[in-house]
Structure 1
Amino acid sequence: GSFKEGERVLAYHGPLLYEAKVQKSENKEDEWRYHVHYLGWSKSWDEWVTNDRLLKLTDENIRKQQELEKSQ
């Protein structure tokens, strides 16, 4: 998978990106899925997401997160 367990990432939840932590990963039928915990959110929001919902935590992607927040 592209993301490691314990890695901090940016995850799409609706139209915005939030900081999250990958807790588990699994490969089902050639598709990676990741169980993420949104930082600062209660565990009831934890969920399985596919690769296309996640971004690496980089300066560039943090800028993207800020742009999305501004455009709301």
Structure 2
Amino acid sequence: MASQVPPYTQSSLVLCKHTDNLYYEAKIIKAYQNKQGEWVYKLHYSGWNSRYDENIKHSDTPSRFMAHTPDNIEMTKVLLIL
């Protein structure tokens, strides 16, 4: 049986890799379980139009999510200007 508590919760901030392979600050606006019982996170990229909101399966988070820490935020800023 799947866990009733998602590993990432609503309102959590993460750094998420977008299609351009760069990380951007994003907020989880919803966490739900799909029909297979896997957690899915609907996230909104900070400062972006809602049309860019994404649904990301928990199984994809190791390659898409990075912890929202001061060091990681600084690293992503450096990557954006390279």
Q: For each residue in 1:7-62, what CA deviation from the matched residue of structure 2 results, as whole angstroms up to 9, or x when unmatched? A: 11111102100001000112332432100000100011111013232222012322
Residue ranges of structure 1 left out of the alignment (5+ in a row): none
Name the structure 2 match of 1:54: 65
2:23 maps to 1:12: no
Higher strand fraction (1 or 2): 1
2:33 maps to 1:27: yes
Residue ranges of structure 2 left out of the alignment (5+ in a row): 1-5
- TM-score between the two structures when normalised by the length of structure 2: 0.70
Q: How far apart in 2 are the matches of 1:8 and 1:49?
A: 14
Higher relative contact order (CA 8 A, sep 6+): 1
- Give secondary structure in 1 for the equivalent of 2:9: coil
* Count of residue pairs brought into register by the alignment: 71
